[in-house]
Structure 1
Amino acid sequence: MTACFGQPIFIVGAPRSGTTLLQYMLRSHPNISLPTGESHFFIPLYSNRHTFGDLSQKENIRRVLEAMYHQSSEFLDTDLHGLCFDIDSLADEFQHQGRDTIPAIIAGLYEKNAAGEGKNRWGDKTPYYVLHMPTILEMFPDAQFIHLIRDGRDVLLSLFGRCHDFGVYNSYYGARYWEQYVATGQHLGRQLAPDQYLEVRYEDLLAFPERTVRHILNFLGEPFDPAVIHFRKAGEAGKTPLVQRDLQPKNIAKWRQRLKPWQLWLFEGAVGSLLYSNGYPLATKARPLPLPVRLLGRLHNNWKRRWRKN
């Protein structure tokens, strides 16, 4: 049907945890193709797979591709560097190849993109897929996941910088947001085989890049290549600044200077045990927050979200 491609790779984790940096690093490997954006359509398409009818029919494949484009047009137009997303030609090709399931159609797109880049393996970086790893594995049973974890207090600072995008307006809500991704990912990851799931700390990637990259590539079964450390930088002004320059080892623990004491008290009081269990020393006694404080944190964040929408 098609050329043989290696196991798909998924970079996942809490938003603002360095997943874009790792994406740009791994896509610089001579064997690995990773689009430069986030897909977001895997779960919606698969969840609604029964609505597309018989996918041996070209018109129904076309409907899948149209739904994909409706969901993620910018990604499909600008972040696939090995192909041009043309619905008609792709529908013809995928029908001819016998791609009659949603996973087969998605794989066909990524494999064609990888082939266009001269690569023999494809991957995807969409952070929230960490919450859906069992579904991704149902779609792609041989998938491998790299769960990137960053100090939640630095994640909080980054979320504050884009508060309107992520809807995080206070430290308590930011703590719970970070916890949802990290704790869920670790819980699901413990149920996977060692060759399917790997946790990597963002801080280790910056402080010990060669050792960490070797560890990642060994997990993936790929040879070490220094191009991953000296990765191809992003030329687009809108991309994360860290993917436009070399690795920045000092881009850690910024929370020590920038978070106020009461913000630290809220964050560590909410998720101190999760921080500590992931190797991040605490700056407070991290006592559990009183119920009124937790309620106020949720109410404040919900009010800010509604105010923003209006």
Structure 2
Amino acid sequence: MPIAGPNENGRRSPVFLVGAERSGSTMMRLMLSHHPDIAFAGESDFIVDAITPEGRFMKREAFLRMLSLDRVFGNRKLNIAQGLNFVGLANDFLDQIAATKGNPAVVGMTIHRHYDRLLHLWPDARFIHLVRDGRDVALSTIPMGWAGNMWRGIRLWVDAEENWHALSERLPDDRFITVKYENVARDAEYELRRVTDFLGLTFGPEMLRYSESSTYSSPHGDSVGKWRKADPKDLSAAEFRGARWLLQNGYLLSGTVKAPSIFRRAMFRIQDRIVIANYRRKKFGTKLWLESLIYSRFGSKKQHARIVRAQNQIIDRHLK
């Protein structure tokens, strides 16, 4: 496939790396970024958060207020140009990302949710869909404090896959490629050659050397199949919830799936809330955790903003 040139507005069509969080997107983004002709940014969900499902864009003032509390954007070091509306700012962010590589052939971002909304902004965008076994993703969300069990964790993965399915149905085959995390862990060079061919580029061996200049190690088989050690009842429930998308992505089920009882579902919900609450209390401290609970419901916007900024500072200190 040839490299896509500028569109009718004189801009290059962007490429988006999409997939559920904990699917290996940071690893893949680092690999892409190490190609001399690719400039690729990390998580940029603040873009899709400013677009409604119907395709309406945030006003500039509201977008800037949102960005002021967005931890990821705050660490991105992107400049906010004067006088541009949301569409102008989003395209300017792409230009700034491209400028880090001297206007390369490919520029893109990583997005973890609401991928379909990107077409409202960039109708000619291309996509790299990264998918990992939802059971491993589910297990991986628990230590992050995003879920209290596999039942909740795999729901996050299912949401991402449902959104991808809705988007991919609207795309011609030459506008997207699906890459499985497990295949990257097994043979990274082969998968990267597939990706660079899709992008119209030649494979660059430096893509495999990203670990030399980052804190992320090279992919390995130890990160694949950890779900096999999960509690059988938890695993069965997670497979029931994610069965359609596991099978559709080529992941075989461990056995006959069975819907958890109403009682067990209620227990999963209670466990989920308790585990997440304990995680946040330990991470942010009891005082800040309690304030976040109170001010999220009854506090002013100023109080809420103060809590978010304090939490962001703590998260940044604990980042890898």
Q: TM-score, normalised by structure 2?
A: 0.74
Deviation sequence 1:109-158 (CA, Å, 0-9, x none): 22123223224232111312xxx233201101121111111111211221
Identical-pair percentage = 27
Q: How does 1:265-284 map to 2 (within 5 A)?
A: 265-284=236-255
Q: Which residue of 2 aligns with 1:21?
A: 27
Q: CA deviation at 1:286?
A: 1.2
CA distance in 2, matches of 1:153, 1:201: 14
Counterpart of 1:276, as a letter, is L
The answer for the alignment partner of 1:301 in structure 2 is 272
Q: Please say if 1:122 is aligned against 2:107.
A: yes
Q: CA RMSD in A?
A: 2.8
Aligned residue in 2 for 1:159:
141
The match for 1:190 among 166, 169, 173 is 169
Please give the alpha-carbon distance, in whole angstroms, between the structure 1 residues aligned to 2:211 and 2:197.
Answer: 21
**Partner of 1:72 in structure 2?**
70
CA distance in 2, matches of 1:229, 1:172: 35
- Structure 1 gap segments, 5+ residues each: 53-62, 237-242
Give how far 1:301 is off.
2.1
Is this contact kept in 1: 2:128–2:176, CA < 8 A?
yes
1:252 aligned onto 2:224: yes
Relative to structure 1, is the Cα distance of residues 172 and 226 closer, same or farther in structure 2, using a 3 angstrom cutoff? same
Is 1:109 aligned to 2:93, yes or no? yes
Gaps in structure 2 of 5+ consecutive residues: 1-5, 281-288, 291-320
Moved more, 298-307 or 190-199: 298-307
Which of 36, 44, 48 matches 1:43?
Answer: 48
Answer whether contact 1:149 1:202 (CA < 8 A) is retained.
yes
TM-score normalised according to structure 1 size: 0.76
Question: Contact conserved, 1:156 with 1:174, CA < 8 A, in 2?
Answer: yes
Letter in 2 for 1:117: K
Query: Per the alignment, do residues 138 and 49 of structure 1 end up closer, same or farther by CA in structure 2, a change over 3 Å counting?
Result: closer
Q: Say if 1:248 and 1:293 are closer, same or farther in 2 by CA, change over 3 A.
A: same
Report Cα offsets for 1:16-42 as digits up to 9, x if no partner: 01111111010111111112x422321
Paired position in structure 2 for 1:240: none
RCO higher in 1 or 2 (8 Å CA, sep ≥ 6)?
1
Q: How many residues align?
A: 270
What is the correspondence of 1:173-252 to structure 2 with a 5 Å cutoff? 173-231=152-210, 233=212, 235=214, 243=216, 245-252=217-224
Paired with 1:11 and 1:49, the residues of 2 have a C-alpha distance of: 22
